[in-house]
Every structure is written in C-alpha cells, then in structure tokens.
A and B are shown apart, each in its own frame.
Chain A
Amino acid sequence: MSLQEFWDYLVLGVMLGSLYAVIAIGYTLVYGVLQLINFAHSEVFMLGAYGSLIVLQLVDPGDNPSALASIGFVALAMAGSALFGGMTAYGLEKVAYRPLRRRGAPRLIFLITAIGASFFLYNLAGKLFGRDPLPLPEMYDNHEVFSVFGAGVNITQLLQFATAVVMMIALDLVVNRTKLGKGIRAVAQDAEVAGLMGVDIDKVISRTFVIGGVLGGVAGFLFANLNQVSYTMGFIPGITAFAAAVVGGIGNIRGAMAGGILIGIVETMTVPLLGDEWRSVSAMVVLILVLMFRPTGILGQRVGRAA
C-alpha cells in the first residue's frame, strides 16, 4: 500500500466510522441509563432511512435542483429521518420496555423483547414498504469538494462526516451541560436515588430513547444516501455499531465515538489488505482483542461517570 493509498482508505474509514459512531451512541445511551442492550436500535436506523425516503417522495427533488434547493431537500430528508427515528424509539420504549420495567421484569426478558421487537419491526417495514430495495432520490450533484492529504472528499462524504460530528458534539453538550443531561447522568448513576431526589425517571428514560432514536434515524438517512433503502439494511450496520459501542466501553458516549471510528477504519483498511470478505472478521477481531485486554472497553465507564 502506498502512502497515498493509506490516506485514501484512512479518510474513507473515518467517514464510515463516524456513521457507526452515531449508531453506536444509540446503544450506549440506552445501556447507560437502563443497562439494556436495545437490539431493536438497528430497526430505528432502518425506519429513519424510510422516513427520509417518504419525505423526499413527497417533495420530489426532480432533476438538477439548484444549490439552495439542494440544501433544503437535504434538511427536509434529515428532519424526516430524525422524526421517524425518534418516534420509533419513543414507541419502542412505551410499548416494549416500559410495561416490563413497571413490573420489575428480569434483565433477560428485556433482551428477548428487544430482539422480538427488532424482528417485528423489520418484517413490518418489509410488508409496508415492499421488500425490494429503493433508491433515495438524488438531492444534489455529487462532486469532489476538497481533498485531505490528497484523498478526495465529495459532497456525500462531507455531508456524512459533518452531520455525524455536529450530532456528536451537540449530544456531548446536552449530556454535560443541560438539565436533561444532568437527569440522564443521574439516572445512569443510580436510578433509585435519582428518583428520590425528584428526577422523573420515566421522562428521562423516554427522552434518552428519543435522543438515541433521532441520532439513529439520521444515521439511517446518511447511510441510505450512500447506499440504498431496504428493510434489511439495519442488521449489519446495527451489529457492527453495537460492537463499536462495546469496543469503546458500553455506556460511555465518547467511547462509542472512538469505538465507531476505530471499527470504521479497521473495516476499510481490511479491504485493500485482506479483501472485502474479511472486513467483518477483522472488526470482530478488534472487539475480541479489546475485550481480552480491557473488558470494560477503551473508555469503559458508564454515562454517569463519563463527564
């Protein structure tokens, strides 16, 4: 691999990794406050992509929209995906998890419910939207904008990376600087005591789900923009992002970002070095290695103590 190729793949890896990071945050947030792996998060991601598709079909960008219109279409699509993702996550919490929590169900039941909800949602999506993949309408003319170390970056990639970074920074600020963030951290640290101190636990949990859902939904849009929309699209990125969350230290937001980007780079670098068929293998090798030497993950601490 020449130096130039190294930079090319590194840039691609960071782009892909930033998407994994945004999905991973959804897992980590929920785990942080509930100690629950929300396996239905990959379906939140998938439905987010459908949300943007529905919005774009309603407004129909047509051929060659102007630059200003392009920005509008992207913003609308993003809003659609955020709405769908947020609503799905909110509904999941309300229907699938809250009743169990009220009855004090054991942890294992939550896990099974999560997997059940995931199957239900993706089959429902297949039924509703059809089982054929669908393209996201083109919202802008994709061309190269600038280069990093000689590696060209086009609009789609820039959009993907910039959105991910902005969302991650915003989330970090919310969790560390706002009252809601304080609530999230309090519930994460000790839900019972937080409740005694006057924190409305249900509200905090529900909002945590919505935040994770919005991020997941937008990631779904970005992913669909680079690939296509299909009802099965959630599974592989979902599992990879889950691995990224564990690598970074599940329950830790900055850890999820670091883990996501690390996994993205490893996967992308695998392609020229070993070939595409090894990309998931090498991602999981990283997971195993990290867990062997640092079972809590790279930054292994819970949300409550991360700040």
Chain B
Amino acid sequence: MLNKNIVKLAIPLAVGALALTGCSGDSGSGGDGAYKIAFQGPLSGDNVALGENMQNGIELAIEQANAKGDLDFKLEYVAADDQGLPDKATAAAQKVIDDESVVAVVGPAFSGPTNTSSPLYAEAGLVTVSPSATNPNLTDPKNGFKSFLRGVPNDSMQGAGMATYYAKKLQAKKVYLIDDKTDYGVGLASVAEKGLKDAGIEVVRKAVPQKTPDYSATAKDVVNSKADALIYAGYYQDLAPFAKKLKDAGYKGAGISGDGSNDAKFVELAGDASENWFLTCPCTDATVEAGTKKFAEDYQKKFNRAPGTYSAEAYDITNMIIEQVKGLKGDVQREALRDALAKASYKGLTKTFSFDENGEFKGTDVYLYQVKSGKIEYQGNINELVG
C-alpha cells in the first residue's frame, strides 16, 4: 500500500522538481538556514485557551531543540491564527504556505478549519499533523487531503467511549444528546448516537447552535425529557452557560462532554455547575502520567501554568517533526518531509505516533476525566474503567 502511494507521489514530485530546476528550486529551507514549524489554530476568538495550550507545547519543543545545540540549523515558530473558524482557515493556511521556510504545520487544531484548509496544504505539499482535529471524515481518502496526518484517535473512539461508559458504568436508560452544529460536534455526536443505540439506550438527539443567547429553554427541555444522562458535543464556551442553566433547571442526571470542553476554562466559567461533569479526551493528563512529569515541570516553569489539553501531544508532534527534519540532513523539501512523516513512527511522551495509509492515527485510547471540587481530575483509560 505504501509503495503504491510513493509511486503515485513520485511522479508529480519528479515533474515538479524538473519544473523547478530553473528557479531557485528550494521550497523548503529559508535563506539563513532556519526552518520554521507553524501552528494553525485558535489564537484569538472564542476558544482561544485550546489553541494556546498547543502553541505553548510547540514553542517549548522548539526552544528545547534549539537549546540542545546538536542541530546544524535553527528552528523557528510561526503562528497562524484561524480563530477556530472554517471561514478564517484558508487565509491562515495561505499565510503559512506562502512563507517558504515553513517545512511543517502542527494543526489545524479544529476539525472545521482542517476541512477547509487541507486542500490548500495538499496542493502545496506542506505536511500538517494535527494533535486535536478529531472528526472521523477528515482522513477519508475521497477528500484528497494528502498532506493531513492525524496525531490523535478520532471521534469514533471518543464517541464510542462515551457510549460505552454510559451503557456499562452508569447504566443510563435515556440519553439526551446535543451537538453544537460544528463539524467537530456533529461528528462526535453521530458516533456517540450510534454507540448508544447499539447498546439499546434510548437517545434524544438535538442540535443547539454555538452562541445561543439563552440556554434556559434548552435546559428545561432536557429536564422535561426525563433523560437520566446528557452528552454535549461541543466546546467549553457554550457548555459553561448551558451547564449553569441545567443546574438552575434542577437537572440531576449525569453529564458528559468531549475534548472541546476539557479545559480549566470550563470550570472557571461554569463555577459550581461544572461539578461532577465527565469529560473525555484522547489526551492524557500531562501532570499525572509518569512519562510527562518532566515535561509538565518544564512547561510550568516557562509559562507559569500547568499544561492543558493537548499541550503534551503538540509537544510530541513537534519533536516528531524535528526528528524527521534532522533525518533529511539539510535538504528539507516539503514533499519529502511529508512522505517521511507519513511513514514514521515516533515514541513520544504521551503515546506512539504512527499513521495508516490515509494519515489516520494508529491507536484507540480514550481517557476519562471528571470535574471534582472545582478541578478536572484524571480518571484513566475508559476501556480499563469499564472493565
């Protein structure tokens, strides 16, 4: 399978190389021997905390690599802010593509922006490795997202994990399932719905668009539906006011949400109302797992706060990229780096990163968290928890 892909890629590559011989012929390295690693994700806008978590992880990895002194090139960081919005994503991607010294992109962070910007990256041959875009459709070969690699188990795993947890551990009878109408939310909710139905649980599926001005009526609807459990597939900015309204409406059942809400900001915004909420994530807690303790300390020292969701994963992916850049020994072309990364396997602090022929992550682990006394507490691997 891989060989076939290489042949397929080799033809345009060869043609491209011939066409470029007349010009400078160098799309990779910058003039001063510096390679740039970019990040595309929300660095302003509504869900900025999620973007900053990753940005910090990347910056830390780059700083450490430069400081080690065993590189014969310099690494630089470039930020491309897409605000987490699909309509801002193409501009952000174009900015990165036009900067000739960018050799790889960590991100895009969210599924919607990944969907709109991936055709551009594919055309430019610039590899993107996302630590967090989890919509299952992104790796569908029909899309032709040839430069997209996913460094995280997709929502089929996360949604299925939620469904399993509800079915086996909480033994829910009726689940109220909400998506926020984003690519991420709809994808996650659809998988969860299927998992719940397969387990024989009754599902009420609703869509509540982002930025709904008042969640009171929705909360009332949840209570009136007599559901004993709730799944919210969306981001913390919207879940927080919703959780407050649920508490006001007297909802007593369980609540679970995914990695889009798994941030300390959720607890800060929702206050008491966030208590006991379950949060799933394909990410581990860097401050708890043994492998990432050292990373968590370095992170705390540099940014004066604990690493958040996907900080450690973004750090790992950056290091994976750096390793491949080193392997190419001074002649880093975008396509060559993409092909090298697609084949590579890298053992990071959090997990081992490797990809199948569609760029899908190989691996399925999803972890469960729960808000307890105002803190998001790590519970462990879902599959192990349900036993």
- Tell which of A8, A133, A142, A240 has the most Cβ of chain B within 10 Å: A133
- Tell which of B49, B206, B217, B270 has the most Cβ of chain A within 10 Å: B217
Cβ-based interface call for B25 (8 A): no
Whole-angstrom distance between the Cβ of B248 and the nearest chain A Cβ: 6
Cβ contacts under 8 Å, B220 to chain A: 5, 8-9, 12, 271-272
**Residues of B192-238 whose CB lies within 8 A of A:** 206-209, 211-218, 220-221, 224, 237
Cβ contacts under 8 Å, B217 to chain A: 9, 12-13, 16, 267-268, 271-272, 276
- Docked pose: A279 CA to B218 CA in angstroms: 11
A15 touches B216 (CB 8 A): yes
B240 touches A135 (CB 8 A): yes
Cβ contacts under 8 Å, B63 to chain A: none
Q: Which residue of B lies closest to A141 (CB)?
A: B272
Whole-angstrom distance between the Cβ of B273 and the nearest chain A Cβ: 10
Cβ contacts under 8 Å, B215 to chain A: 227
Cβ-based interface call for B375 (8 A): no
- Docked pose: A131 CA to B43 CA in angstroms: 9
A228 touches B240 (CB 8 A): yes
**Residues of A150-189 whose CB lies within 8 A of B:** 152, 154, 156-157
- Docked pose: A154 CA to B246 CA in angstroms: 13
Give 1 or 0 for each of B231-265: 1 = CB within 8 Å of chain A CB: 00000010011000100101000000000000001
B49 touches A132 (CB 8 A): yes
Q: Which residue of B lies closest to A126 (CB)?
A: B44
Number of interface residues of B (CB under 8 A): 32
**A-B pair number, CB within 8 angstroms:** 89
Cβ contacts under 8 Å, B240 to chain A: 133, 135, 228
- Docked pose: A230 CA to B236 CA in angstroms: 13
Cβ contacts under 8 Å, A133 to chain B: 46, 237, 240, 269
Query: Which of B45, B206, B216, B241 sits near A275, CB closer than 8 Å?
Result: B206
- Tell which of B49, B220, B270, B271 has the most Cβ of chain A within 10 Å: B220
A277 touches B207 (CB 8 A): yes
Cβ-based interface call for A202 (8 A): no
- Docked pose: A161 CA to B48 CA in angstroms: 33
Cβ contacts under 8 Å, A16 to chain B: 213-214, 216-217
**Residues of A102-156 whose CB lies within 8 A of B:** 126, 131-135, 138, 142, 152, 154, 156
B207 touches A276 (CB 8 A): yes
Cβ-based interface call for A226 (8 A): yes
Cβ-based interface call for B181 (8 A): yes
- Docked pose: A275 CA to B217 CA in angstroms: 10
Whole-angstrom distance between the Cβ of A154 and the nearest chain B Cβ: 6
Cβ-based interface call for B123 (8 A): no
B224 touches A5 (CB 8 A): yes
- Docked pose: A138 CA to B268 CA in angstroms: 12
A227 touches B241 (CB 8 A): yes
- Docked pose: A8 CA to B248 CA in angstroms: 13
Can you show 18 pairs from A to B with CB atoms below 8 A apart?
A: A8-B224, A12-B217, A12-B220, A13-B217, A16-B216, A132-B48, A135-B240, A135-B270, A142-B248, A157-B216, A223-B213, A227-B213, A230-B46, A232-B46, A268-B217, A276-B206, A276-B212, A277-B209
Given contacts A5-B224, A135-B269, 5 further A-B pairs with CB under 8 A are A226-B214, A227-B213, A236-B211, A276-B209, A277-B207
